[in-house]
Structure 1
Amino acid sequence: MNNDLLKNWLEKQSSLVLDGAMATELEKRGVDTDNELWSAMALVHDPQAITDVHRSYFDAGANIAITDSYQANVPAFLKAGLTAEQSGKMIFDSVKLAQKARNDYAETLEDSVRQATPLLIAGSIGPYGAYLADGSEYTGDYELSADEYKGFHRARMQLLEEAGIDLFAFETQPNFEETKALADLLTTEFTGISAWLSFSVTNKAELCDGTPLKDAVDYFNQYPNIVAIGVNCTAMDNIEGLVKVIHDATDKPIVVYPNNGDTYDPKTKTWQTNPHAVPFSELVPKWQAAGASLIGGCCRTTPDDIQEVAETVRK
């Protein structure tokens, strides 16, 4: 992929819309995500549901689909009883399912609209902490060497690239050392493809491992193939302030996709609905004014939320 693809689209449109939650929508379709594979279990048991979720987000106005590979990595599949070959196929298929949804959606558009509408596939790379399945993506409390991080992520990145993603999404990343290893791996072994980097943060503008967000963002200015930087999987209320911190530290496009306003307890792995959550239609203009240009939703967000984001962005 041309590393300027995202930049070129953002020059034509001031903001692009990401999709929303995968697991939430899979659960509505009867997929059991209460396991160590989480939403990746659908790759094994109900791939059509994944395509249907991706299609629902394109229909809602999303420009970018994020593959169902956040928790999909070879060690996790092996632990679940799949062979190495089956594990690789699951990761490869996560791209093909998103591409099918994109292609089916594109066929509903008139030629002129299709050519003017960015429809991209971002290959999700969750952190090592997601593989641990103990809430570590919200603490960053784990430690491997740079080579060990690269060894963990390499096979999944190779499979996603081979399947034809447009860019990587290094997302919900809580651990600064891991993100450095990912950027180095991208630069040395995946030279034809770019990535956005989205951190998992506390509400104090720090990565979950305690690294100041400003310092982390500044570090990745040296990587031209990290084409956007931001945060995801945090409260909507935190976004405006975090975008301002990021904007002060980089000229790269800023990506944000928060949760929907409900609150999560990582110990009990349960959500509490927040009836007082401020709607996206009120918050998105503030995020754009602060500097965000790639906007979507993370946990608990729905196609209705993404439609609200898309309609707000396109006003």
Structure 2
Amino acid sequence: MTSIALLDGGLGQEIYQRGPDVSSKLWSVAVMLKHANIVKDVHKDFIRAGAKTHTLNTYPATPTRLAKAGLSDKIDTIYQKAFEALQQAVDETGADVDIAGCLPPLVGSYLGQPQRSFDDMKAEFSHIARLQPHVDVFLIETMTNTLEARAACAAAREQGKPFGVAFRLEPNGALRSGESLEQAMHAVTDYAPTAVMLNCCDPEVLTTAMPKMATQADIVGGYANAFKSVEDMAKGSKADALQAREDLSPLVHTERVQQWIADGALVVGGCCEITPAHIQHLAQTLEQSHEIIKFSQLAD
């Protein structure tokens, strides 16, 4: 029986949509600062849905983004709140799951080549990693260029814990930087990530890319979003401007993921607009034919 590591779904978007009075470029972190219980409840919903690896709610909380928002002095509080919310969810459900630290794009999602050095970005990623000392694994997400991905991998490797790196591909099959998927996967090989993945892509992009990915790394995977388009957000708008597709029901999502698994994926889950209902349907379907495991177990 093949083992599949099942991640949670679109944590940040799920939290943001449940925040009734929050509109902010800090997204789900802004909700957490006002309504910490919403974060805990979303984690509990994804745990009960069957996901085995759950990411801290810190995606927008890089030092760069917090400084721009005038909240640099809140960084320790934000990371502590994020860990407490997930730990409480784990304790209250009694679940045996991974807590994953998040290493996101430093400036924002869907951007191209950064105007920063490798050492500068590695230092910031290392700072973020140190703010998450109690996690079981690290997930590097939504990488749009190889320079930033390598810096994140270097910082994650220093922590001595399993980590995965996920790239975002555009509809043309390349990174936003213009680099190819092959170049991206080759760029991180020397850092020996536990898994190389795609995330925050259109599901159709992931479907096209997965067979090729599976020939270039031992453990690959992916988790797509369900947005109609991310271009407004790439230009600097808030997440409020994003719209969910109406054609990606839990059933359709599960069918897509099953195709990725057939093509070699060993890590799956969901990105923005993939809800606890999607993950529950996926988990209930996969458990009939696969062993569902934590991300950390891939490194055993």
TM category (shorter chain) comes to 0.7 to 0.9
What's the TM-score once normalised by structure 2's chain length?
A: 0.86
Partner of 1:149: 121
Q: What secondary structure does 1:231 align onto?
A: strand
Equivalents in 1 of 2:68, 2:242: separation in Å?
27
Equivalents in 1 of 2:75, 2:11: separation in Å?
20
Equivalents in 2 of 1:75, 1:241: separation in Å?
34
2:164 maps to which of 193, 196, 215? 196
Partner of 1:123: 101
Partner of 1:98: 86
Partner of 1:134: none
CA deviations over 1:66-124 (Å, ceiling 9, x no partner): 1111111234334434453x311211331221122122212xxxxxxx6xxx5111111
Alpha-carbon offset, residue 29 of structure 1: 2.4
Q: Does the CA-based 8 Å contact 1:20-1:297 persist in structure 2?
A: yes
2:265 is equivalent to residue 276 of structure 1: no
Q: Which residues in structure 2 correspond to 1:109-120 (within 5 Å)?
A: 119-120=97-98
Q: Which amino acid aligns with 2:81?
A: D
Partner of 1:293: 266
Structure 1 residues 204 and 93: alpha-carbon distance in aligned structure 2, compared to 1, 3 A threshold: same
Q: What secondary structure does 1:229 align onto?
A: strand
Partner of 2:198: 231
Alpha-carbon offset, residue 142 of structure 1: 2.4
Equivalents in 2 of 1:273, 1:79: separation in Å?
28
Over aligned residue pairs, what C-alpha RMSD do you find?
2.1
**Gapped regions of structure 1 (runs ≥ 5):** 1-11, 107-113, 131-136
Partner of 2:229: 263
Structure 1 residues 247 and 51: alpha-carbon distance in aligned structure 2, compared to 1, 3 A threshold: same
Equivalents in 2 of 1:289, 1:33: separation in Å?
40
Alpha-carbon offset, residue 34 of structure 1: 3.2
Structure 1 residues 83 and 275: alpha-carbon distance in aligned structure 2, compared to 1, 3 A threshold: closer
Equivalents in 2 of 1:216, 1:34: separation in Å?
34
1:212 maps to which of 170, 175, 180? 180
2:9 is equivalent to residue 23 of structure 1: no
Alpha-carbon offset, residue 228 of structure 1: 0.6
Equivalents in 2 of 1:128, 1:27: separation in Å?
20
| Equivalent residues, number | 281
Equivalents in 2 of 1:178, 1:299: separation in Å?
21
Q: What secondary structure does 2:100 align onto?
A: strand
Identity among equivalent positions (%) equals: 26
Partner of 2:282: 309
Q: Which amino acid aligns with 1:300?
A: E
Partner of 2:294: none
Partner of 1:166: 136
Equivalents in 2 of 1:294, 1:194: separation in Å?
13
CA deviations over 1:265-297 (Å, ceiling 9, x no partner): 424552344333471132122110111111111
Q: Does the CA-based 8 Å contact 1:17-1:309 persist in structure 2?
A: no
CA deviations over 1:198-249 (Å, ceiling 9, x no partner): 001112332211111112112322223x111111111111212211121121
Partner of 2:291: none
Structure 1 residues 220 and 27: alpha-carbon distance in aligned structure 2, compared to 1, 3 A threshold: closer
Q: Which has the higher contact order (CA 8 A, sep 6+)?
A: 2
Structure 1 residues 142 and 75: alpha-carbon distance in aligned structure 2, compared to 1, 3 A threshold: closer
**Structure 1 segments of 4 or more deviating over 4 A?**
none
Structure 1 residues 75 and 285: alpha-carbon distance in aligned structure 2, compared to 1, 3 A threshold: closer
**Gapped regions of structure 2 (runs ≥ 5):** 289-300
Q: What secondary structure does 2:215 align onto?
A: helix
Q: Which amino acid aligns with 2:52?
A: N
Partner of 1:243: 210
